């Protein structure tokens, strides 16, 4: 099921004019910001398909930047986000792409600062609902609505059971889980959607596991 | 848990409850939140809708100047007593237009199911309200009933103009509203489903061809037609008229039509009204002077 809540249909409360091209775009920007963990120094935003063709009319550009500034869909600062980003010292570049993607509303966001870099691909599937389909070249499927943890790890045997054991010990239930990798034996990514909140100590414990390289938390 | 309209109707009728109740129960299960919090959340959405209609009826203008002020024109015309259609219908139309004019002006609205189609559900609700005098709780139920039908369309077809054309947006909104009107007026869950089917049938094939890619022309007026379509279909269903094609099959047909719709007619602003000489001229004028 792509849509799971009544509020996916009646909602979100948002600044117009388009749920997919404005609210959805803002949500993708905000997920990128959350995964980056702080306000980036630089953002490169690539728009594809219908996003590329109609972004100016729908305010897709200001919405994505608003999301990167951590604004929610109903934040009245969205229309002026480009100015706010400039004042905050965040450099923003847009590129308009003509590559045909699987979904017509696709955006690729790259965020940078001195010591970090993140690349994310998101799609806006209608009514403000989104999916993150790629993170740092890993294929994944993430709604950004449920608490989730992303674990970057070496592709070795036993790692999935080590991670799930830590969660089980803390009585955390897994709702959905996905593992993807670029190449056998190389770096891999686990996306785990859970039902409970993830405390900092659990994050620390996961980070301490052998072969775990990075742990990122989504939503509280 | 329901996966289609047939299951939704069956659940409501076997438990002898409203469709709104089935949606609330499912939301409680999905979110783990207590009933009061879910109701409160929908109450807040209802307030946003009320404020948007109120603001639109005072008259707004979009940044481009393409839309705005039509809701006021219609309200003034209704006051003259010369209107050919009944005032409830025109009231719904003007309130739907009001909401979408606010949306086009980058104001705050509640997507139902999308922003471009946000006028239909509140427009019809606040017009029918004048006749049926529902309680606040019944108005909130109206939104949950709309949500239940929209939920089925979103999961089995699409509510995105880029994926399925305007039939997926205003078409879905209009069907959702028709079903909710039937339930508010005391119709059965089956009649609500018939209203949804009749409405959506009349919206099949509707393309998404926004001039200059803006959610203004023809979106605002399509919400007007969506609202009047919903009220007409609701009355038909309440009169006992049924759809020969079951609701779920109409939804499936809508999905398949969307899949075969040319990309130029799916929110890319490359075909239909967007590609007319006037549509192109407006786009050039706007993007020449805008920003």
Residues 257-286 of B with CB under 8 A from A: 263, 266-270
Of B103, B97, B93, nearest in space to B48 by CA: B103
Of residues A57 and A135, more confidence is placed in: A135
CA triple A28-A37-B110, angle to 5 deg:
35
For a pLDDT cut of 90, what percent of chain A falls above it?
65
Q: Which of A16, A54, A125 sits opposite B160 (nearest CB)?
A: A125
A11/B110 Cβ within 8 A: yes
Strands A91-96 and A42-48: parallel
Q: Strand, helix or coil at A215?
A: strand
User: For the residues B164-192, what does the mean pLDDT come to?
Assistant: 98
- Structure tokens that stand for A173 in this block: 């239930």
pLDDT in the model for residue A145:
74
When pLDDT is averaged across residues A37-45 and rounded to a whole number, the result is: 96
pLDDT at residue B290 in the model:
44
SS3 call for A162: helix
The pair of three-digit structure tokens given for residue B75, joined into one six-digit string: 């309200």
Interchain contact B249–A (C-beta under 8 A): no
Q: What's the whole-number average pLDDT of chain B?
A: 96
For residue range A100-114, what is the model confidence (pLDDT) as tens digits?
888 889 999 999 999
Total Cβ atoms within 10 A of residue B179: 35
Q: With a cut of 60, say whether residue A129 has pLDDT above it.
A: yes
Question: Is residue A26's pLDDT more than 50?
Answer: yes
Map chain B to HEC letters: CCCCHHHHHHHHHHHCCCHHHHHHHHHHHHHCCCHHHHHHHHHHHHHHHHHHHHHHHHCCCCCCCCCCCHHHHHHHHHHCCCCCCCHHHHHHHHHHHHHHHHHHCCCEEECCCCCCCCCHHHHHHHHHHHHHCCCHHHHHHHHHHHHHHHHHHHHHCCCCHHHHCHHHHHHHHHHHHHHHHHHHCCCCHHHHHHHHHHHHHCCCCCCECCHHHCCCCCHHHHHHHHHHHHHHHHHHHHCCCCCCCCHHHHHHHHHHHHHHCCHHHECCCCCHHHHCHHHHHHHHHHHHHCC
pLDDT value of position A57: 78
pLDDT level of residue B95 (50, 70, 90 thresholds)? very high
A14 φ, ψ to 5°?
Answer: -155, 165
3-state secondary structure of A126: strand
- Test the B interface: residue of A49, A57, A143, A219 with most B CBs within 10 Å: A57
Closest CA of chain A from B81, distance in Å: 33
B48-86 per-position pLDDT tens digit: 999 999 999 999 999 889 999 999 999 999 999 999 999
CB of A20 within 8 Å of a chain B CB? The answer is yes
Chain segment B220-261, per-residue pLDDT in tens: 999 999 999 999 999 999 999 999 999 999 999 999 999 999
pLDDT band at A220 (very low <50, low <70, confident <90, very high): low
Q: What is the pTM of this model?
A: 0.87
Cβ <8 Å between A15 and B112: no
ipTM associated with this complex: 0.96
pLDDT over 80 at B288, yes or no = no
Best residue of B18, B29, B60, B111 to probe chain A, by most A CBs closer than 10 Å: B111
Q: Is A147 on the interface with B (CB under 8 A)?
A: no
For the cut 70, the answer to whether the pLDDT of residue A176 exceeds it is yes
Residue with tokens 């603001």: B55
pLDDT reading at B136 higher than 60: yes
Distance of CA B132 to the CA centre of its chain: 20
- A103 within 8 A of A148, measured Cβ to Cβ: no
State whether B269 and A57 contact (CB < 8 Å): yes
How far off is chain B from A196, nearest CA to CA, in Å?
11
Please state at what angle helix B87-104 crosses helix B120-132, rounded to 10 degrees.
140
Mean pLDDT confidence for B43-52: 98
**CB-facing half-sphere around the CA of B227: CA atoms within 13 A:** 32
H/E element, A167: helix A159-169
B162: chain A residues, CB-CB within 8 Å = 20, 49-50, 104-105, 126
pLDDT at A184: 83
Residues of B with Cβ-Cβ distance to A79 under 8 angstroms = 106
Give mean pLDDT, residues B21-50. Answer: 96
Phi, psi of B187 (to 5 degrees): -75, 170
- Tens digit of each residue's pLDDT (9 = 90 or more) over B205-223: 999 999 988 999 999 999 9
Q: Which of residues 25-54 of A touch B (CB under 8 A)?
A: 49-50, 53-54
Helix-then-strand count for chain A, H and E: 7, 11
Check if A96 contacts B (Cβ < 8 Å).
no
Q: Write down the pLDDT at residue B291.
A: 37
Out of A52-61, A122-131, B9-18, B53-62, least confident range: A52-61
Under the banding of pLDDT at 50, 70 and 90, the label for residue B289 is low
Chain A contact for B160 (CB, 8 A cutoff): yes
> Does the beta carbon of B210 lie under 8 angstroms from any beta carbon of chain A?
yes
């Amino acid at each position: 099921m792509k849509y799971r809540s009544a509020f996916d249909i009646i909602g979100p409360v948002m600044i117009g004019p388009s749920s997919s091209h404005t609210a959805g775009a803002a949500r993708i920007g905000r997920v990128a910001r959350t995964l980056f963990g702080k306000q980036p120094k630089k953002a490169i935003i690539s728009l594809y398909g219908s996003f590329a063709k109609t972004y100016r009319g729908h305010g897709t550009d200001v919405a994505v930047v608003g999301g990167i500034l951590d604004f929610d869909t109903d934040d009245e600062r969205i229309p002026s986000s480009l100015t706010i980003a400039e004042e905050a010292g965040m450099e923003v570049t847009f590129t308009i792409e003509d590559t045909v993607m699987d979904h017509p509303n696709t955006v690729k966001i790259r965020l940078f600062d001195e010591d970090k870099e993140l690349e994310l691909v998101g799609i806006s599937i209608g009514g403000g609902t989104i999916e993150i389909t790629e993170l740092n070249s890993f294929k994944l499927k993430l709604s950004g609505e449920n608490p989730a943890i992303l674990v970057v790890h070496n592709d070795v045997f036993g790692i999935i059971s080590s991670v799930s054991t830590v969660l089980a010990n803390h009585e955390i239930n897994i709702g959905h889980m996905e593992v993807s990798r670029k190449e056998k034996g190389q770096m891999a990514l686990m996306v785990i959607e859970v039902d409970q909140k993830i405390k900092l100590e659990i994050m620390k414990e996961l980070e301490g596991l052998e072969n775990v390289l990075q742990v990122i938390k989504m939503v509280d | 848990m329901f996966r289609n309209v047939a299951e939704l109707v069956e659940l409501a009728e076997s438990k002898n409850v409203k469709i709104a109740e089935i949606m609330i129960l499912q939301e409680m299960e999905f979110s783990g939140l207590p009933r009061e919090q879910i109701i409160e959340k929908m109450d807040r959405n209802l307030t946003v809708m009320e404020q948007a209609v109120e603001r639109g009826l005072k008259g707004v203008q979009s940044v481009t100047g393409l839309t705005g002020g039509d809701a006021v024109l219609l309200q003034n015309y209704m006051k003259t007593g010369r209107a050919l259609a009944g005032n409830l219908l025109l009231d719904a139309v003007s309130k739907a237009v009001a909401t979408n004019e606010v949306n086009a002006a980058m104001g705050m609205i509640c997507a139902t199911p999308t922003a471009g189609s946000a006028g239909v559900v509140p427009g019809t609700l606040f017009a029918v309200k004048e006749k049926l005098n529902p309680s606040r709780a019944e108005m909130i139920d109206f939104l949950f009933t709309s949500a239940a039908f929209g939920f089925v369309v979103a999961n089995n077809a699409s509510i995105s103009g880029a994926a399925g054309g305007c039939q997926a947006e205003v078409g879905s909104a209009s069907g959702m509203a028709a079903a909710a009107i039937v339930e508010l007026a005391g119709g059965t869950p089956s009649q609500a489903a018939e209203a949804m089917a009749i409405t959506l049938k009349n919206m099949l094939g509707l393309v998404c061809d926004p001039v200059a890619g803006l959610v203004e022309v023809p979106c605002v007026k399509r919400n007007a037609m969506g609202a009047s379509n919903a009220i007409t279909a609701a009355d038909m269903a309440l009169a006992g008229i049924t759809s020969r094609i079951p609701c779920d099959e109409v939804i499936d047909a809508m999905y398949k039509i969307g899949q075969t719709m040319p990309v130029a007619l799916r929110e890319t602003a490359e075909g239909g009204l967007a590609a007319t000489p006037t549509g192109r001229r407006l786009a050039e004028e706007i993007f020449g002077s805008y920003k």
